Chain A
Amino acid sequence: MTVKRISFLQDLLAFMGLEGRLHLEWISSAEAQKFVQVITDFTEKIRMLGPNPLRGRRGFQKAAELKAAVGLGKNLTIQHKVERVKNEC
């Protein structure tokens, strides 16, 4: 059932434009070699795809919101939060 659910999700993400960022593999605790291989390959694949296009979207939005709040002079500590969110992005 897991394989079907994951296939479903992979197809849905492909429809949305986020193909290839979800992978399912069965690896036994005795298959250290396979584990290393899968992780290496997947890491390489993700690196080829580049950063998640959705990442930062929310972060930038938050940064902008916080900046607006700072502009209103609501809270000094917000400035730090802006810096933190910026660094995260």
Chain B
Amino acid sequence: MNAEVKRWLEEGIVDLFLGYKAVMGHCLPHCFVKEKIEEVDDLIVGGSRYALEKIATHITASKPDIKIGMLARDCNQRALNVLYIWNQLNPDQIRTVNVNCCPSNLKEHGDCSYLEPQSAGIFKQQVGVDNTWRPGDLEDYDQSQRLSRWMYEFQKCIKCYGCRNICPVCFCRECSLEHPELVETGALPPEVPIFHLVRAVHMAGRCIDCGLCEDACPVDIPLRLLYRKVNEIVVDVFGYETGSTSAQSPFSIVGDKVTLAPKSLLSN
């Protein structure tokens, strides 16, 4: 891998390469360039995971013609796919080195930090939402239980914007969650559940289920569960599989053939 990356940089196939480098025992994202080609020897896959494609998006925003190479796990590839669809990156300018990812029946080993959530403690199990739940698990509870459980989780929010900042597919120049007229400044927690639902709706058709948001969250809000549910609904209602198709997101299309009837008033 290192020799191949060196060749890419030397031959100018890519202008820079995003990968990981071990610094004092920590695996950190690093930008490798031709001028410091000797650093490529330190390029590692490592177990950590960062949104390298987000760094690529930022670089491309200021230098549109730059050619970028990067390490890509499965989640990175899904994120890249979404970024291509939303015209944030040009597939012709991105070269990836695909690396081993999540374990499966075919391979036991995976180079990933996994980001497995910890099972909730007793208190959280009683009043909150367990981070290890699947979207279907919440259906065991009635409406008021669901609301109070989610409100317990959301009220912990310290509005650090960590979920948005780490998110590989959050690229808006202006974020509605930072708009002073939409989100009150200087108030904690932010207006719940609206704050989180706004983000959840924006994740529809975009979230690629990498789980970095939940990992970044300092108060363990089960964001991954929420966005998983959101994208389950997107599959049900729009028939759109986020990350694995090259079709435009249904939320960017204005008109479509009507295949659904509105829900009747008596349905629920």
A: which residues have CB within 8 A of B? 1, 3-12, 14-20, 23-26, 38, 41-42, 45, 53-54, 57-58
* Chain B nearest CB, measured from A24 CB (Å): 5
Which residue of the partner chain B has the closest CB to A49?
A: B143
* Chain B nearest CB, measured from A33 CB (Å): 15
Which of B74-82, B96-104, B251-259 touches A? B251-259
B145 within 8 A of partner (CB): yes
Taken together as a complex, chains A and B put the C-alpha atoms of A88 and B250 apart, in Å, by: 40
Taken together as a complex, chains A and B put the C-alpha atoms of A10 and B261 apart, in Å, by: 13
**Cβ of B234: which chain A residues have Cβ within 8 Å of it?**
8
How many residues from B make CB contacts under 8 Å with A? 38
**Cβ of B251: which chain A residues have Cβ within 8 Å of it?**
5
Taken together as a complex, chains A and B put the C-alpha atoms of A53 and B148 apart, in Å, by: 9
> Known: A12-B229, A15-B138, A53-B147. Contact between A7 and B237, CB under 8 A?
yes
Which of B31-39, B40-48, B197-205 touches A? B197-205
Q: Cβ of B256 and Cβ of A17 under 8 Å apart?
A: no
Q: Cβ of A19 and Cβ of B255 under 8 Å apart?
A: no
Q: Cβ of B193 and Cβ of A4 under 8 Å apart?
A: no
B11 within 8 A of partner (CB): no
> Known: A11-B237, A12-B200. Contact between A17 and B144, CB under 8 A?
yes
B265 within 8 A of partner (CB): yes
**Cβ of B260: which chain A residues have Cβ within 8 Å of it?**
3-4, 7
**Cβ of B159: which chain A residues have Cβ within 8 Å of it?**
none
**Cβ of B146: which chain A residues have Cβ within 8 Å of it?**
15-17
Which residue of the partner chain B has the closest CB to A41?
A: B265
